[in-house]
Amino acid sequence: SDVIKFKQQLSRGEYTWHAECYNQENSYKKTPHTYTNNLQAEKSAYRLSVVNSIPTYPKKLLPETGTFSSTINIECGESYDGDNDLLTYTIWYIRADTRNSDWQIVEQNGDGLAALDVSSMPNNALLRLKCAANDSIALSPTREVGWLKIVR
């Protein structure tokens, strides 16, 4: 494959590595779209410039559980960005007690503080929350919590 995977997240900067590339027929790939059957592969050096570090998943997403009747005050935060980019947060909820429910946005690219009005949701509705950090280039992995129960 033409994909190189790294075991650790790379920070912004320049890196050099050596690679030997073979296609599925065990033929060395010298340049894109050019192959040879030479099994003694030449080693090549490539330069990689990382332009962005993906933020870490938010360590904080509150509330994690509980019962609510009118408003759920949500707090999402404590993500880290290796480039020190300014982070915003997106928060979603999903109704777990209904079929074919989709994640709904509570706050998009905000400060991580949001209020979800649940006053129109039925008694015993169950919710899950998730949030992610955004550095304007990439979204972090999400953090999920729940179950939050609606009571009347």
Q: Please provide the DSSP assignment of 57-103 as one string.
A: PPSEEE--SEEESSEEEEEEE----TT----EEEEEEEETTSTT---
Percentage, residues of the chain above pLDDT 90:
56
53-90 burial, b if ≥16 CB within 10 A, otherwise e?
bbbbbbeebeeeeeebeeebebbbbebebbbebebbbb
Bridge partners of 31, per DSSP, are 34
Confidence of residue 5 (pLDDT cuts 50, 70, 90): low
CB–CB of 32/47 below 8 Å?
Answer: no
Tell me what pLDDT residue 99 has. 81
For residue range 58-97, what is the model confidence (pLDDT) as tens digits?
999 999 999 999 999 999 999 999 888 999 999 999 998 8
pLDDT, greater one: 22 or 83: 83
Instruction: Decide: pTM greater than 0.75.
Output: no
Tell me what pLDDT residue 152 has. 86
* 147: pLDDT strictly greater than 60: yes
* 148: pLDDT strictly greater than 60: yes
